[in-house]
Amino acid sequence: MSASPGMAGTARLISMERAARLTAVVTHEGDWYVARALEVEVTSQGASVEESLANLREALELYFEDQPFPVTAADGPIVAPLDIRLSA
C-alpha cells in the first residue's frame, strides 16, 4: 500500500528539517522572564519561563534562516557561577 502524493510530500518536507540544541539562560527581570541563548546573541521575553523559552525558540528559528549555525563544542558551553569582589 503506497502513501498518497500529499503524504509523500509531507514526509519529504519533514525529513529535510534539522534539529539543534542550544543553551538558554532565563532570568526574572521585573514583570518579565528573559531568555538568552548563550551561543548566539539572541534574546526574548515572556510572562512565564515557558513563554520566554517558546519565544526564544521562535526567535532563534527565524535568526538561523539567514545566519549560519555556530560551531560549538559537542558538549556545549560550560556554565559556572563566578564570584567577584565589589568595592565598598
Residue 82 in domain:
no
**Residue 51 forms part of a structural domain:** yes
The whole-model pTM stands at 0.73
Q: Is residue 38 part of a domain?
A: yes
DSSP for residue 48: S
Q: What is the pLDDT along the chain (88 residues), one digit of tens a residue?
A: 555 455 555 555 555 578 888 999 999 999 999 999 999 999 999 999 999 999 999 999 999 999 998 887 777 788 899 999 999 8
In a domain, 79, yes or no: no
Number of domains in the chain: 1
CA distance 51 to 44: 9
Q: Report the alpha-carbon distance of residue 58 to residue 60 in Å, rounded.
A: 5
Residue 56: strand, helix, or coil: helix
Return the pLDDT at 75: 78
Structural domain range at position 42: 24-64
Phi, psi (deg, nearest 5) at residue 84: -130, 160
Phi, psi of 43 (to 5 degrees): -135, 150
